[in-house]
Amino acid sequence: MQENETEISKENKFVEIKEIERFVRYLIAEMNYSSNTAKAYSVDMYEFAAFVKNTKNIELAKCDKNIIRDYLAYLYNKNLKKSSIIRKLAVLKSFYKYLVITDVITSNPTVSMATPKKDKRIPVFLTEQEILLLFDIPDIDLRDKAILELLYSSGLRIAELVNINVKDMDFIAGYVKVFGKGAKERLTPVGDRCLSSIRKYMNGEKAKGFSFMPNSPLFLNKYGKRITQRGARKALHNWFVKASLRKKISPHTLRHTFATHLLDRGCDIRSVQQMLGHKNLSTTQIYTHVTLETLRKVYDAAHPRS
């Protein structure tokens, strides 16, 4: 981001760097965006600002619908993935909506622009047998086993998991309180095996001298501090390698697996949507076509003329 700032500030007196910076602060303070997401938005905005400077040489606040369409065409010509283009357009929509809210402009040039439909891709997920292989790794660390269990048991994002505090766990009712995207709160069920793994992990940490107060982070690093996303990903990657699975997997793969297995076992899609914290049902529907193979087997076994 620093390189973009330097390049633009030297070459284009019209690019409103301060406006972009204020937009990023607004995302964090008012919209509850994570710092990582806000940083990604700023990178996209600086890229758009550079395009406007090099092709139009006008202020961002004076861009109209045609300029934004030219920018989208430019992105298509760069052979960017459609998902990347959709994200960049979403950033521009948020930026110009912000400019309207703050009275910098009176009309939003993106308001009537349709968002391209995403290409549907089959999400990578693990079979039930592969899950067993992952959880049966010998000598797996108690903390990492608990993290794996919770990711698969509740379908959490890794960012949601590392932010869980002790008080967010309800060991009696079997729920975890999660703060998802946009700081939206939801309650998600947790399985008995997962709860058992978390208890074993916490007892192990207490034996090392660490204490767990209600506001304490649930998952700790070796210094007794909250584990970071990077730390959790690095730890889990080692176990993914040891499991020798023939798939490129990540913590998010367990979220895909959670949703797929629930649907395969007959859970209704609305419940899966709620547990995943998806705003729109269409987001959850990426998992439904994965279950078509299961439906076909049921059909072939049950229909008299299949």
pLDDT digits (tens, 9 = 90+) for 167-219: 999 999 999 999 887 678 899 999 999 999 999 999 999 999 999 999 999 99
* Per-residue pLDDT at 295 exceeds 80: no
H helices of 30-184, in order, are: 35-55, 65-77, 82-101, 128-135, 142-154, 158-162
Per-residue pLDDT, averaged over 4-17, amounts to 47
Per-residue pLDDT, averaged over 273-293, amounts to 79
Which residues contact residue 102 at a Cβ distance below 8 angstroms, ignoring those fewer than 6 apart? Answer: 22, 26
- Residue where the block lists tokens 């087997």: 297
Q: Are 71 and 85 in contact (CB under 8 A)?
A: no
* Per-residue pLDDT at 292 exceeds 70: no
Of residues 286 and 222, the one with the higher pLDDT is 222
> What is the pLDDT at residue 3?
44
* Per-residue pLDDT at 285 exceeds 90: no
Q: How far out from the chain centre does Cα 284 lie?
A: 13
> What is the pLDDT at residue 298?
66
Distance CA 156, CA 177 (A): 11
> What is the pLDDT at residue 44?
95
pLDDT category at 13 given cuts 50, 70, 90 is very low
CA-wise closest residue to 158 among 60, 71, 229, 212? 229
- Per-residue pLDDT tens digits for 37-78: 899 999 999 999 999 988 988 889 999 999 999 999 999 999
Residue 248 DSSP class: -
**Terminal CA-to-CA distance of the chain, rounded, Å?**
58
* Per-residue pLDDT at 16 exceeds 70: no
Helix (H) or strand (E) holding 176: strand 175-179
> What is the pLDDT at residue 265?
87
Of residues 116 and 269, the one with the higher pLDDT is 269
* Per-residue pLDDT at 86 exceeds 80: yes
Distance CA 14, CA 127 (A): 54
Helices 251-264, 142-154: crossing angle, 10 deg rounding: 40
* Per-residue pLDDT at 14 exceeds 60: no
Which residues contact residue 196 at a Cβ distance below 8 angstroms, ignoring those fewer than 6 apart? Answer: none
Residue 214 DSSP class: T
- Per-residue pLDDT tens digits for 90-129: 999 999 999 999 999 999 999 888 877 766 677 889 999 9
SS3 label, residue 226: strand
Cα angle: 168, vertex 170, 173; to 5 degrees? 150
pLDDT category at 291 given cuts 50, 70, 90 is low
Per-residue pLDDT, averaged over 263-280, amounts to 89
Q: Are 204 and 145 in contact (CB under 8 A)?
A: no
In the numeric block, which tokens belong to residue 295? 């439906």
- Per-residue pLDDT tens digits for 211-256: 999 999 999 999 999 999 999 999 999 999 999 888 889 999 999 9
Per-residue pLDDT, averaged over 266-288, amounts to 86
Q: 283 φ, ψ to 5°?
A: -70, -40
- Residue where the block lists tokens 């192990």: 204
Please list the active-site residues.
157, 181, 252, 255, 278, 287
216 class by beta-carbon count within 10 Å (0-12 exposed, 13-18 middle, 19+ buried): middle
